[in-house]
Amino acid sequence: MGVIKDLLKEELGNSLRLQKDYKEALKKYPGGSIIKKEIKGHVYYYVAFRDGKKIRFVYKGKKLSADDLRNLKESKRLRIKYRSLINKLNKRAQYLKKALHGKED
């Protein structure tokens, strides 16, 4: 039983550590969506994101380069991926905590 318990403890530790790492990684990738605004016949690009109760718009320029666009898209994809993995790790950690605190035969 000792070996199994050690294994579960190690896995729980790994899940919590990795969850923290994903939360850190999320900070590196800005959230938000690309917004195209047309003002007096001119096109302007913004990144819109939620900041608490407010929605903020950060001006990106009159044109978006292919690199900018690619980076923003990649950033969005990674944020979605990381969030789903954080959820997965959260569920795993809950399960492991329950298993560790269960009664031994």
Partner 1 sequence: MEKKTNSLCFEILHRLNKSGVLQHLILIGSWSIYFYKYYFKSKDYSTYIRTKDMDFLVPIPSKLSKEINVFELFKDLGFLEKYRGSKGYIVLEHPDLSIEFLVPERGRGSNKPYFIPQLSINAQPLRFLDFLIENTIPITTEGLHLKVPHPAAYALHKFIIFKRRNKAEKYERDIEGALRVFNELIRSKKEGQVRLIFKRMHKKWQEKVIENLKSIGELEVVGILKG
Which residue lies nearer to partner 1 by CB, 2 or 41? 2
Binding site for partner 1 (CB under 8 A): 2-3, 6-7, 10, 15, 18, 21-22, 25, 74, 77-78, 81-82, 84-85, 88-89, 92
Supply the minimum distance, in Å, between the C-beta of residue 37 and partner 1. Answer: 30
Supply the minimum distance, in Å, between the C-beta of residue 22 and partner 1. Answer: 7
Provide DSSP, 32-59: -EEEEEEETTEEEEEEEEEETTEEEEEE
The sign of the torsion formed by the CA atoms of 69, 28, 22, 18 equals positive
The tokens describing 35, both together, are 């917004």
